[in-house]
Structure 1
Amino acid sequence: MTSPFDLTGRRALVTGSSRGIGLAIARSLLEAGAHVVVHGRSSAGVESTAAGLADEYGSAAVSVAAFDVTDEQSVIEGVATTEAEGPLDILVNNAGVQHREPMLHVSVEDWDRVIRTDLTSAFLVGRTVARGMIARGAGAIVNICSVQTDLARPTIGAYTAAKGGLRNLTKAMTAEWAGSGVRANGVAPGYIRTELTQALVDDPTFNAWVLGRTPVGRWGEPEDVGGAVVWLASDASRFVTGQVVFVDGGMTAVV
């Protein structure tokens, strides 16, 4: 029998997948059998990552897309180019940025940049890809949220607002598109060890806080997020939509 987690024959676009959690998600989808479209804003960075993945999984399993997820026309053109090579069955909205500064000092420009990159981009790419999914009567969208979807910490107010909005955007997608065969869910990672968070891992005070605040007693690894995405992209979760799955080692389950 075919595993319900098998993604063979399906095409997945993962935004912001040239490194970090996005790259780990791409690897997990490839290992489940999907064809993955590696995405980034920079063509050079995307091509380099895709070449490495092609060496591991075969050139037929990987393609690339380079476009600005915060610009509607760029999104429309980028998705059209991608779908000209084959329809998208899976979309993972992973692209995002962080800005650390007390809210009393955050400029409107920095606030808008975070909201547009972390929330508006998921709306723009999501609805553009969903048009094709709806026409075909099937598709899975996974929005990468955060523990800040439910929690807050000082100095990351814009990020917290964006990730909270992304949870409800996921619900809105479900309300409008589930009847057309398109499922939308979220994955909310806790503190994940990547090259972008290594400075926090190396900070003794912050590292001790993360380990003490996380019941499993460790940082998450990028592949921990990838496994949850594979589940939500596959038929194993075919009756799951509008949900946010926290992959946080139990952080949001305790006080």
Structure 2
Amino acid sequence: MTSLDYAQMFRLDGRHAVVVGCGGIGSEIAAGLAAQGARVTCLDKDLAAAEQTRASLPHSQTREHTAYPVDVLDPAPLGRLAEELGDVDVLVLTAAVNVRKRLLDYTAEEFDRVVSLNLRATFDVVRAFAPRMVKRGSGSVVALTSIRAVTVEPGQGVYAATKAGVMQLVRTWAAELGPAGVRVNAVAPGVVETPLTQQIRDDEAWGRAYAEKSALGRWARPEEMVGAVCWLASDAASFVTGSQVMVDGGWTAVDGRFTPPFS
């Protein structure tokens, strides 16, 4: 007989989940984790955004959900907060930035800004939270990458490089932390309807081309990212680590190309 309770394997009751980046998709992920029974801590540089997400979450049966401001680019206070929060069962990283420019037009400052938040901060956040998971012998880390980790277009080079880099960190962490019982995976969204993609959707040709690129012929909604994250966080994915789950409507399975405008 299996030791896994199929009726409960997606549940997160009694577990502490930390979501880093609580706007847009991060807010929906926090809601999904809470709905599965997790106690959620919302972390964001914008405390108002973190508090707004926390206030919207369904009540936890263990302890109250919490929210804290955190600058993931400042590792010292990040480390102190990780210690203050204590044991964390699930860590989800969503914070990222993109500067849409051709590589030859990039400035050094823009390059550093994208690499610092998308790649270095991912490294620092996991470095802050993973040691307690290792010591305890369990934990699930889920990083949001992107379809740009595997396929690019003009103007997305630096962002794509950081997302591919995050995936290589995920694979390495999976190898290094797996013996301690810690799983590390990624969810790669396709094009999602968020405020950050409004510029694209405001351009009719660009928005339509993105919609038609996927096998499903449309943009994703933020809540459609939640299921994959909750699955990876749960016992249902107990033998899944080092993987990148594509939640892209078939984008990376279908051929096609569109060169977007840059101004």
On whether the aligned pair clears a TM of 0.5, the verdict is yes
* Residue 58 (structure 1) shift: 5.7
The residue aligned with 1:167 is 167
CA distance in 2, matches of 1:52, 1:240: 30
Partner residue, 1:64 = 67
**Residue type of the partner of 2:25?**
I
Query: Which residue does the alignment assign to 1:222?
Result: 222
**In the alignment, residue 54 of structure 2 is paired with which amino acid?**
A
Look up the equivalent residue of 2:138 and give its one-letter code.
A
Distance in 2 (CA, whole Å) between partners of 1:80 and 1:164 is 29
TM-score by length of 1: 0.93
Does the residue aligned with 1:197 lie in a helix, a strand or coil? helix
Q: What does 1:106-255 correspond to in 2, within 5 Å?
A: 106-255=106-255
- Asked if the contact 2:19/2:30 (under 8 Å) is kept, the reply is yes
> How far, CA to CA, are the matches of 2:44 and 2:31 in structure 1?
15
Check if 1:6 corresponds to 2:11: yes
Q: Which runs of 5+ in 1 are unaligned?
A: none
Corresponding letter in the other structure for 1:52: S
In the alignment, is residue 96 of structure 1 matched against residue 96 of structure 2? yes
The alpha-carbon deviation at position 35 of structure 1 amounts to: 0.8
Alignment pair present for 1:26 and 2:30: yes
| Structure 2: distance between partners of 1:66 and 1:194 | 22
Secondary structure at the aligned position of 2:140 is classed as: strand
1:11-58 deviations in whole A, cap 9, x for unaligned?
A: 1111011x20111111111111111111101223322332233xx436
Aligned residues: 249
Rounded to whole Å, the distance in 2 between the matches of 1:82 and 1:65 is 10
Alignment TM-score, normalising by the size of structure 2 = 0.91
The yes-or-no answer on 1:35 pairing with 2:39 is yes
- Extract unaligned runs of 5+ from structure 2: 256-263
How far residue 230 of structure 1 moved from its aligned partner, in angstroms, is 0.3
Letter in 1 for 2:36: A
**Residues in 1 aligned to 2:47 and 2:25: alpha-carbon distance in whole angstroms:** 19
Give the letter for the 2:71 counterpart: D
Contact 2:14 2:39 in 1 (8 A): yes
For residues 85-137 of structure 1, give each alpha carbon's deviation from its aligned partner in whole angstroms, at most 9, with x where no partner exists: xx100001111111111111211111111111011111111121110000000
CA 1:57/1:203 → structure 2, altered by over 3 Å: closer, same or farther? Answer: farther
8 Å CA contact 2:30, 2:53 repeated in 1:
no
Q: What CA distance in whole angstroms lies between the structure 2 residues aligned with 1:82 and 1:201?
A: 39
Deviation at 1:172, TM superposition (A): 0.6
Cross-structure match for 2:84: 81
**Structure 1 residue runs of 4 or more that deviate by more than 6 Å after TM superposition:** none
Distance 1:161 1:9, change over 3 A: same
Amino acid in the other structure paired with 2:44:
G
